[in-house]
Structure 1
Amino acid sequence: MKKTLLKNAKLVNEGHIVESDVLIKGDTIEKIVADISDEHAETIDLKGDFLLPGIIDDQVHFRQPGLTHKGDIASESRAAVAGGITSYMEQPNTNPQTVTIERLEEKFATAAKTSYANYSFLFGGTNDNLEEIKRLDKNACSGIKLFLGSSTGNMLVDDDAVIEKIFSNTEMVISAHCEDEDTIRKNLATYKERYGDDIPVKYHAIIRSEEACYLSSSKAIRLAKKTGARLHVFHLSTGKETDLFRNDIPLKEKKITAEVCIHHLWFSEVDYEEKGTLIKWNPAVKTASDRAQLWEALLDDRIDIVATDHAPHTLEEKQNPYTKAPSGGPLVQHALPAMLEKHHQGKISLERIVEKMCHNPALLFDVEKRGFIREGYFADLVQVTTDAAWTVKKENILYKCGWSPFEGASFNSKVMRTFVNGHLAYDNGILSQERNAKRLTFER
């Protein structure tokens, strides 16, 4: 069985930075101590670079099946690995939608053949598939996804009785996209009357407003408290919503949790002028004040996870007039460098980045033997240097859609190597053609 010895690493793990070597045997971390010697191991000298657990991204849209002109499991998982993401949880709003057990297993079969990163999928809830949800084993996949506000894929769940039944009939984590559809429709009608289809994109944050977000997320939380459901609110975008969440108990004891995405931590409404529909997301990028409050809630533990909501579209699609330009953008390759840039700016420590992007997703979704650098855990590891300036350019973008909202941005940190289950999947700009990904398993 192949052995790989990583020498002279600075491990960022479980709240500490420790100088150590790491011995990998097969797909597993065998030993973590200073100054390991093993003549049978292939040795890689990290030369004092930081070694992180592989990032677990709990929210990506890889567009397969049915939307593969935008991206597919192979292309987007390769970009993810280049960005230090070793495990992902993909969303159900594909074509066909992942709303039956048969469709779920088809996705797993596709990923087993094509994915470069470890994989699981969320099972989509609809107004009429409660019986399928009841049949779903709690360890079958990462959880249930409910669109309580419409987004790409037309999976809106808007029957309150159905929502309550779903909340009452599963032990799995229910991840929710929370925006109030009636509020959005009324706002959109107002601006369409004024501008037609070519609404200036700066009004996106007013159309998909703070009120729309808060009404929906607060309603979902009330229902979760009533039913005892395990609710995880995806991609918070407003400061007002952050007060709905607790930070006075450990993550494993929380029944209601939240995440924030890279774009809501990085961009604000002033960026619409330059970026236009390239930063059109649902929920919308909002004010600088909202962004500041999201950071505050992330750092005081009201928000538990940082994710990407990676959702590629072609440039041609994004360049349509406002009402026809889809929401979403590609982020998996640049999420970790963006967070590391915030570390350079003094906004967040390396230890906290690892907590929010590696440890907490593993804990929240009960992922088995991933998210930490521990002996006996799978060897999902990321080597990063914090002293390698580079710029995002078209020629180094790996997304199938060929663009990034970060194009032109300069970062001071860089992913050097990514190991997936002990396999060197990315090595300083070179992606391995071999796949060693596994289906995520859970301890529930």
Structure 2
Amino acid sequence: MKSVLIKNANIVNEGKIVKGDVLVKDGRIAEISETISMKSAETKVIDADGSYLLPGMIDDQVHFREPGLTHKATVETESKAAVAGGITSFIEMPNTNPQATTINLLEDKFDIAAKTSWANYSFMFGGTNDNIDEILKVDPQKVAGLKLFLGSSTGNMLVDDPKILEEIFSKTKLLISAHCEDEDTIKKNLEKAKEEFGEDIPIALHPKIRSEEACYISSSRAIKLAEKTGARLHVFHLSTEKETHLFSNKKPLAEKKITAEVCIHHLWFSEEDYKLKGTKIKWNPAVKTQKDRDGLLKALLDDRIDVIATDHAPHTIEEKNNKYLSAPSGGPLVQHGLVALLEMYHKGKISIEKIVEKFAHNPAILFQIKERGFIREGYKADLVLVDLNSPWNVKKENILYKCGWSPFEGTIFKSRITHTLVNGVVVYENFKFPNKSNAERLTFDR
């Protein structure tokens, strides 16, 4: 493996930006210094020329659709898009086909990633109403955590038996990540909409059907259960300002038992965007009001919300172009998530240091990921170089998702990711992939 020397970079790490050089050797960060001289003629030198060097982003919630849904995406296609977007590690969800609800089915997914992934990988184990025995077999040092759908977003993984839920929360040592939307509330809202509009429900009603109330009821119930049982709970994709008040910033992240995530689409879009984007921005939970969007950003900045993720969930454009009731929820985001956040930086909404904290450092802390998420000597060399002043337009020709579309199509981003290193290998360089990745299975310090 060639060593790599990155020179003249603005190194963004642990709340600071420092000008300097970084030497990568044998897949790890060997040295960080103000100036590092060439060590060998074999060393690849990258002159950052004032660009910003970030630790690789860690996306704690993606749906890469393999196995079983590979007409939408595969681990290979989406992880390749992820490294082009500066994401060097991902945690994928269990609602594939078959669903990862047994140890054997989970290991099948690890086998696929070992052969094809461009980014470092782990997978969530899926909880159901009847697999508690399998849940208790999962090794917390080898698996990211347990995913529970407390609202039936996709497939039949809804866990809605209160006794089973309490048993899972009481017995598992795994970190529990939860999708929180109250099914009864959603059903009632949907029936009302059907009475008024029949099969032609406007997409603008999506945030009223999957409402603030539905989210708050479910999130607050999950938090109460975690407090009662002592479980380690992480609530995925908050979408309402009201929910943010359920979470605290009184302790450092490593000491929190209850944490929260926000997704990039909930920070970027609001209900006003349904007019132009339609079902392309149909997500569960729904994109809601501008007040919600602003409240989520505020909670992210004051540390009530701990991490940023994409919830990358591609569907074909033909599937998405259906009417409201038939169009699936979810959209592709891994290639454009970091540059969207950097666009928010350009608009003065968030600092680069805070982006790195929430999208790299904190996922590593929260999931106790070993030797990743920071630019530290001895750590794995997962690194991203960003030019903050190199505008580019998102268009079909440069979209890497298998589904071939993006909700950001037509957007001009000011920042461009120029290089991505995964375990010390330059796998992405200016819209090209010069080397095959040597991605690794994530391990956990638990």
Give the TM-score category using the shorter length. Answer: over 0.9
Residue 346 of structure 2 is matched in structure 1 by 344
How many Å separate the matches in 2 of 1:172 and 1:371? 21
Is the partner of 1:323 in helix, strand or coil?
coil
1:389, distance to aligned residue in structure 2 (A)? 1.0
Report if aligned partners of 2:425, 2:435 keep a CA contact under 8 Å in 1. Answer: no
Residue 18 of structure 2 is matched in structure 1 by 18
1:109, distance to aligned residue in structure 2 (A)? 0.4
How many Å separate the matches in 2 of 1:154 and 1:318? 20
Residue 197 of structure 1 is matched in structure 2 by 199
1:35, distance to aligned residue in structure 2 (A)? 1.1
How many Å separate the matches in 2 of 1:74 and 1:169? 35
How many Å separate the matches in 2 of 1:350 and 1:188? 40
- The CA deviation string for residues 273-318 of structure 1, in whole angstroms up to 9 with x for no partner, is 0000000000000000000000100000000000000000000000
TM-score scaled to structure 2, two decimals? 0.99
1:140, distance to aligned residue in structure 2 (A)? 2.2
Residue 33 of structure 2 is matched in structure 1 by 33
Which of 59, 72, 75 is the equivalent residue of 1:73?
75
Report if aligned partners of 2:142, 2:442 keep a CA contact under 8 Å in 1. Answer: no
How many Å separate the matches in 2 of 1:200 and 1:178? 24
Distance 1:432 1:156, change over 3 A: farther
Distance 1:432 1:158, change over 3 A: farther
The residue correspondences of 1:227-376 to structure 2 (distance < 5 A) are 227-376=229-378
Q: Percent identity?
A: 66
- The CA deviation string for residues 246-266 of structure 1, in whole angstroms up to 9 with x for no partner, is 001100010000000000000
Report if aligned partners of 2:146, 2:176 keep a CA contact under 8 Å in 1. Answer: yes
Higher mean alpha-carbon deviation, 145-154 vs 324-333, is at 145-154
Residue 123 of structure 2 is matched in structure 1 by 121
Coordinate RMSD, CA, aligned:
0.7
Is the partner of 1:218 in helix, strand or coil?
helix
1:26, distance to aligned residue in structure 2 (A)? 1.5
Residue 106 of structure 2 is matched in structure 1 by 104
Aligned residue identity for 2:21: D
1:194, distance to aligned residue in structure 2 (A)? 1.6
How many Å separate the matches in 1 of 2:34 and 2:237? 39
Report if aligned partners of 2:27, 2:381 keep a CA contact under 8 Å in 1. Answer: yes
Question: Which consecutive unaligned segments of at least 5 residues does structure 1 have?
Answer: none
How many Å separate the matches in 1 of 2:377 and 2:82? 25
Higher mean alpha-carbon deviation, 40-49 vs 226-235, is at 40-49
TM-score scaled to structure 1, two decimals? 0.99
1:196, distance to aligned residue in structure 2 (A)? 1.9
Residue 6 of structure 2 is matched in structure 1 by 6
Where in structure 1 do 4 or more consecutive aligned residues deviate above 2 Å? none
How many Å separate the matches in 2 of 1:198 and 1:433? 49
How many Å separate the matches in 1 of 2:36 and 2:199? 64
- The CA deviation string for residues 123-156 of structure 1, in whole angstroms up to 9 with x for no partner, is 0000000000111111121000000001122211
Aligned residue identity for 1:38: M
Report if aligned partners of 1:197, 1:324 keep a CA contact under 8 Å in 2. Answer: no
Aligned residue identity for 2:351: S
- The CA deviation string for residues 308-338 of structure 1, in whole angstroms up to 9 with x for no partner, is 0000000000011111100000000000000
Higher mean alpha-carbon deviation, 51-60 vs 152-161, is at 152-161
Residue 226 of structure 2 is matched in structure 1 by 224
How many Å separate the matches in 2 of 1:39 and 1:30? 12
How many Å separate the matches in 2 of 1:113 and 1:432? 18
Is the partner of 1:108 in helix, strand or coil?
helix
- Matched residue pairs, number? 444
1:2, distance to aligned residue in structure 2 (A)? 2.3
Aligned residue identity for 1:257: T
The residue correspondences of 1:354-433 to structure 2 (distance < 5 A) are 354-432=356-434
Distance 1:225 1:217, change over 3 A: same
